[in-house]
Structure 1
Amino acid sequence: MAESKEEVDVLVQRVVKDISSAFKRHPNIDEIGLIQCPEARYNRSPIVLVENKLGVESWCIKFLLPYVHNKLLLYRQRKHWLDREALVDITCTLLLLNPDFTTAWNVRKELLQCGALNPERDLYLSKLALTKFPKSPETWIHRRWVLQHILDQFSSVAQTTEQPVESEHPDAERTLLLSNHLNRLIHQEMKVCSDAACRYPSNYNAWSHRIWVLQHMAKGNIKVFHDELSSVHPWVSMHVSDHSGFHYRQFLLKELITELSRSSSSASTIFGSSQHWTSTVPSSSHLANGERSLAYSPSGERFATVLQLFYQETELCSDLIETFPGHETLWSHRRHVYYLWHQWTQDQHPCGDGRESELNLLGTNDPGDTRPTCAIHEGNVDRQRHVSVPMEVDGVSLPDCDSKRLRRGILLPNHLTLQNEHIFVNSILDSCCNPEQKNFALAYKKWLDTVISAQS
């Protein structure tokens, strides 16, 4: 093994070149990692590439990392000159080993601004770094900077384009291409965030980045937000203790309610077709259990769509609480959902007073009943029913065996009222033997009595 400084320099220079060559020969590398190897046993490169997975033998890290680190610091201190290609290679190697080194990301920002580096290439590098360090805050920060740089480029192009999209003008075609590119970027970011969240539990940085992407790249696009709400449904169902995922659903739900409450567009914005997005919601006017779809409600479509969102989220909470007892995250999420519902009903004032509205969901009224929802007889509130419809994930019903597993006799309320929440909690307390589940149910019941009752 090399011992002198000259031999070490020769070794690490070769390793840096091997890493750069690996990316040039195999542009589809999708994961990086360390190979535990205490010492070099063979006279070969420590860089291993197998099936698009790039590995670095651990014995060379103690030589490689200080070398590239010192090289970059000397460059920043203007004590050593490096050309652009060398800077790209050194920063790439350094960030794959230590992605929280801010100086390296700043150097790449400068290279990107002067046109020496492609933004897509930087997104690719940060994506690889996240496969090994999925919670790296500096990597997520730099990724947002690159995305904002791309958005600024889009904005400058849009300002110079006046022609409509349907026109055959070259500027219109360019605008359409940019729009498609933006859609691909959004899908790509959702995939990167999802992979990072799976690699590291409670990855707040990944979910915060996902929120940022929607706020800056899909603001006001109700269809995108609704698709996201559906796409994370399976994920939260398999990670019932990860609060970050449920916090993301709370953000989506709140944004959808806000947009639907102030938007003049109809519910077809969500359920209908879009120019760049394909709807996954069935177009039938009836659901699987014969209930009428809210998208075709004879009264206000936006109002009915909000009701459906609340109903589906409450149904998800009920399923998961019963199937996976003893998880505080599920009860916390239900509390937030019901609080949003409570605040929304008070803001709507459908009955002209501050009382909690007895709003009927998903066609539980007689289809021929044209009375206002608030005029429903109070006795209807107490009626309960077993919901036998399989839970839908992205529009696909689960098999019967999963349906039986997810539904074990819990009564789902027809109305999101305080009384029905008490009925749900009491059914949990009566049927559950898990002590933690009982404690969470009692805490939720106390919250309903002290907070919601006081505000009603």
Structure 2
Amino acid sequence: MAETEGEVDVLVQRVVKDITNAFKRNPNIDEIGVIPCPEARYNRSPIVLVENKLGVESWCVKFLLPYVHNKLLLYRQRKHWLDREALVDITCTLLLLNPDFTTAWNVRKELLQCGVLHPEKDLYLGKLALTKFPKSPETWIHRRWVLQQILGQLSAVGRGSKQQQHYGEAEQPEAERSQQLSDHLSRTLHQEMKVCSDAACRYPSNYNAWSHRIWVLQHMAKGNIKVFHDELSSMRLWVSMHVSDHSGFHYRQFLLKELSTELSQTPPCIPTIMSSSQDQSSTVSRSSSHHHSHAQANGELPGAEAAEEEERQLGCTTVLQLFHEEMELCSDLIQSFPGHETLWSHRRHVFYLWHNLRKEHQQHCSSNGGVVPGQLKDSDSCPPEVGAQSSAGQGESVNGQRHASEPMEVDGASLPEPRDSKRLKRGVLLPGPPALPSEHSFVSGILERCSNPEQRRFALAYKKWLDTVIDREP
């Protein structure tokens, strides 16, 4: 093992070169790690490449990391010159060993802005660093900066295409160019979702990974209901396997709130579930007749009014279905995995979100003088047929009870079809919404057959919250 300063310099330069050559030999490396090895046992390179895994023997890290660290600091202090290729190699080696070194990421930002680096290459480097350090905050921050650069480039290309089309240039490839931009954005979004999932699996309650995932959806899929709905569906299996990970359930709460907001833009946003099919049919009929007469008074076409009403009903149906399925999932997990506070906290948040959404809708209808189809009272109970219908096709649960059988792949989920709203008009009962009586009934059932002291404590706390917070609100 090298001891003198000159020998250390030669050793480190050789290791940095070996790492660079490893990426050239195999551009599909998908994981890095440190191999426990206190000392050099063989006269060979400490860089090990097996299939798509890159390993660094631990004995050389104590020489390698200080060396590249000092080299980069001297360069930033203008005391040592490094060409662009050397900067790329040194920052790559340094960030694989210590991704929270902000100076190295800043240097790579400068190289990217100069055109030396491609944004995809930095995303790839960050992905590898997260396999070893999945919670690294500086890596997540840099990824967001790179994604902003990509979004800016795509926006600039889009504006340039519109200008060319305005002046009569390149009209033919316009549709093709737009499709390429859309495909590129879709691929980038899919890759980010996978990076976040892998990091969340490697580190429990990885707040940085889940926050980044929320940021990606807010900036790259804002307003895209299908993407949000697919995320909500694909994450069912993940949260079922990580019932104590609050960050994952917080992500579901974000998705549920965003979907409710998007689907509730056109009032009336919250449907009313009556106590029987006949009541529901009469309510919809009265509402339809009111809108029909209003449309005739204003000279509107009955066909356009019917299409608008059908779209409203579809949004109402979807919002109601989302909350019903989320409460069903929460019930299954609480019964299958007793004693997990995260599940009870998630149930509380979902019910409170529905409670506020229903209240805001009623206030909106009252303030605008609109016709409220009905009011969803806490005393309304869900008919037995609703529970059987909603749980049909659910499959088996995680622990042998009920389990959602929706496909977990992103492209397997779909929003309700327009014919669902036609069924609503014909009087078919929809799944019942969360209500105080059903929640009290659920808690009572848990307490009756509860043998876990923690489960009992959480159930009593939830019941107290229902009585003191929800029941006392106007």
Question: 2:219 & 2:380 partners in 1: Cα distance?
Answer: 44
1:341 to 345, 354, 378: 354
Question: 1:379 & 1:338 partners in 2: Cα distance?
Answer: 15
Gap change, CA 1:199 and 1:401, over 3 Å in 2: closer
Q: Tell me, what secondary structure is at the counterpart of 1:426?
A: helix
Equivalences for 1:181-330 in 2 at 5 Å? 181-262=184-265, 300-330=313-343
Question: 2:454 & 2:385 partners in 1: Cα distance?
Answer: 27
Gap change, CA 1:386 and 1:304, over 3 Å in 2: closer
Q: Tell me, what secondary structure is at the counterpart of 1:454?
A: coil
Question: 1:306 offset after TM fit, Å?
Answer: 0.6
Question: 2:263 & 2:373 partners in 1: Cα distance?
Answer: 19
Paired position in structure 2 for 1:145: 145
Gap change, CA 1:391 and 1:117, over 3 Å in 2: farther
Question: 1:453 offset after TM fit, Å?
Answer: 1.2
Matched, 1:21 2:21: yes
Paired position in structure 1 for 2:434: 416
1:405 to 397, 401, 404: 401
Question: 1:377 & 1:244 partners in 2: Cα distance?
Answer: 32
Question: 2:374 & 2:150 partners in 1: Cα distance?
Answer: 49
Q: Give CA deviations for 1:324-364 in whole Å, capped at 9, x if unaligned.
A: 0010000000000000100111112299779xxxxxxxxxx
2:176 to 168, 173, 185: 173
Gap change, CA 1:45 and 1:416, over 3 Å in 2: same
Question: 2:436 & 2:237 partners in 1: Cα distance?
Answer: 28
Structure of greater Rg: 2
The answer to whether the 8 A contact 1:390-1:400 is kept is no
Instruction: Give the TM-score, by structure 1 length.
Output: 0.82
Question: 1:159 offset after TM fit, Å?
Answer: 1.4
Q: Give CA deviations for 1:184-231 in whole Å, capped at 9, x if unaligned.
A: 000000000000000000000000000000000001111110010011
Question: 1:88 offset after TM fit, Å?
Answer: 0.2
Report which stretch shifted further, 344-353 or 24-33: 344-353
Paired position in structure 2 for 1:289: none
Question: 1:247 & 1:65 partners in 2: Cα distance?
Answer: 37
Gap change, CA 1:263 and 1:352, over 3 Å in 2: closer
Question: 1:319 & 1:70 partners in 2: Cα distance?
Answer: 55
Gap change, CA 1:79 and 1:402, over 3 Å in 2: closer
Q: Tell me, what secondary structure is at the counterpart of 1:419?
A: helix
Letter in 1 for 2:348: R
Q: Give CA deviations for 1:408-455 in whole Å, capped at 9, x if unaligned.
A: xxxxx9441111111111111111111111111111111111111121
Unaligned runs of 5+ in 1: 268-295, 355-371, 408-412
Q: Tell me, what secondary structure is at the counterpart of 2:335?
A: helix
Indicate the RMSD between aligned Cα atoms, in angstroms.
Answer: 2.8
Question: 2:115 & 2:267 partners in 1: Cα distance?
Answer: 42
Gap change, CA 1:206 and 1:377, over 3 Å in 2: closer
Gap change, CA 1:214 and 1:352, over 3 Å in 2: closer
Gap change, CA 1:65 and 1:378, over 3 Å in 2: closer
Question: 2:268 & 2:382 partners in 1: Cα distance?
Answer: 34
Question: 1:161 offset after TM fit, Å?
Answer: 2.1
Question: 1:265 offset after TM fit, Å?
Answer: 13
Q: Tell me, what secondary structure is at the counterpart of 2:107?
A: helix
Question: 2:7 & 2:378 partners in 1: Cα distance?
Answer: 86
Instruction: Decide which structure has greater helix share.
Output: 2
Higher RCO by CA contacts (8 Å cutoff, separation 6 or greater): 2
Gap change, CA 1:158 and 1:297, over 3 Å in 2: closer
Instruction: Give the TM-score, by structure 2 length.
Output: 0.79
Gap change, CA 1:198 and 1:265, over 3 Å in 2: farther
Question: 1:388 & 1:307 partners in 2: Cα distance?
Answer: 16
Question: 2:129 & 2:378 partners in 1: Cα distance?
Answer: 58
Letter in 2 for 1:314: M
Paired position in structure 2 for 1:331: 344
Gap change, CA 1:440 and 1:22, over 3 Å in 2: same
Matched, 1:450 2:453: no
Question: 1:128 & 1:377 partners in 2: Cα distance?
Answer: 52
Question: 2:269 & 2:354 partners in 1: Cα distance?
Answer: 20
The answer to whether the 8 A contact 2:244-2:341 is kept is yes
Letter in 1 for 2:441: I
Question: 2:435 & 2:268 partners in 1: Cα distance?
Answer: 28
Question: 1:70 offset after TM fit, Å?
Answer: 0.3
Paired position in structure 1 for 2:30: 30
The answer to whether the 8 A contact 2:358-2:376 is kept is no
Report runs of 4+ in structure 1 exceeding 6 Å deviation.
Answer: 264-267, 296-299, 350-354, 375-380, 389-392
Q: Tell me, what secondary structure is at the counterpart of 1:42?
A: coil
Gap change, CA 1:309 and 1:103, over 3 Å in 2: same
Aligned residues: 400
Unaligned runs of 5+ in 2: 271-308, 404-430
Gap change, CA 1:71 and 1:184, over 3 Å in 2: same
Question: 2:362 & 2:173 partners in 1: Cα distance?
Answer: 51
Question: 1:237 & 1:198 partners in 2: Cα distance?
Answer: 13
